[in-house]
A = this chain, B = another copy of it.
């Protein structure tokens, strides 16, 4: 099938590579505001040609939106305006209630399937794209009852080709879960980086001493604001809920230390260790 990928970055690029490898994509158009990204994606054989929005959509069976969530929410109604009942549109955004709400009453709503692959890195741009990124991860499809059956089938085939396991939920539940399982990790990581940068003026010391534990905890702090500010904006209420709870949990550690209540400290840590049973 012919595919247009709007936003040829980490996610769009990785999907393109895998869908080509699996012979799902016979031809891939790249649509991107950044000519540099188009050129890089051409060089890396991620896409076959650059295109403008109308031209790309017109000639594609499937259109994948892989741009920041605020831009996707704004653009999706225009994309749906341009598609026929033989075409399918999917997104790949990290928040779902906003985008689903934006097209709720759109006459072509049923051509759209709301999707979120549970994978990402702190890098961006087509050069970061990796075909095997998604394998073994969850591919969340939201509000499937609002999509036409044939459109849903196409996206399920894509999920399958990406070697992800599909999970179905409604957009509101998705946004609550991702606040816990993805969004808060980023805030913690950013705040941790800022803590260290604020207090630890000797950057050379950070660099020399940083252990693997520190690196893995602050890795996400390298993630770009262009992607993450819109996510926090769209998922504000849920993220604030989790952030408040997280600050409460940190205060328990603070209190245990201040009061030298090391039994309580041990209890807090033992409770946290339960994550071993859930994440292997």
Contact = CB atoms under 8 A, between A and B. Distances in A.
A234 B90 CA distance: 53
B186 A213 contact: yes
Given A118-B209, A205-B177, A257-B240, A195 B184 contact: yes
A71 interface: no
Interface stretch (A16-24, A54-62, A78-86, A241-249): A241-249
- What does DSSP make chain A's interface, helix, strand, loop or mixed? helix
Interface string A197-218: 1111001011111111111111
Contact of A270 (B210, B225, B232): B225
Contacts of A187: 250, 253
A214 to B, nearest CB: 5
A178 interface: yes
A188 B250 contact: yes
Contact of A191 (B186, B223, B249): B249
A279 B140 CA distance: 32
A253 B243 contact: yes
Interface residues of A, number: 90
Contacts of A244: 254
A75 interface: no
Contacts of A1: none
Nearest to A117: B211
Contact of A216 (B118, B220, B229, B258): B220
A269 B217 contact: no
Contacts of A251: 247
A121 B222 contact: no
A39 interface: no
Contacts of A120: 211-213
A195 to B, nearest CB: 4
B205 A188 contact: no
Interface stretch (A25-33, A43-51, A107-115, A260-268): A260-268
Contact of A222 (B185, B193, B205, B276): B276
Interface of A: 118-121, 137-138, 140, 165, 167, 177-178, 180-182, 184-200, 203, 205-225, 228-229, 232-233, 236, 239-247, 249-254, 257-258, 260, 262, 265-266, 268-276, 278-279
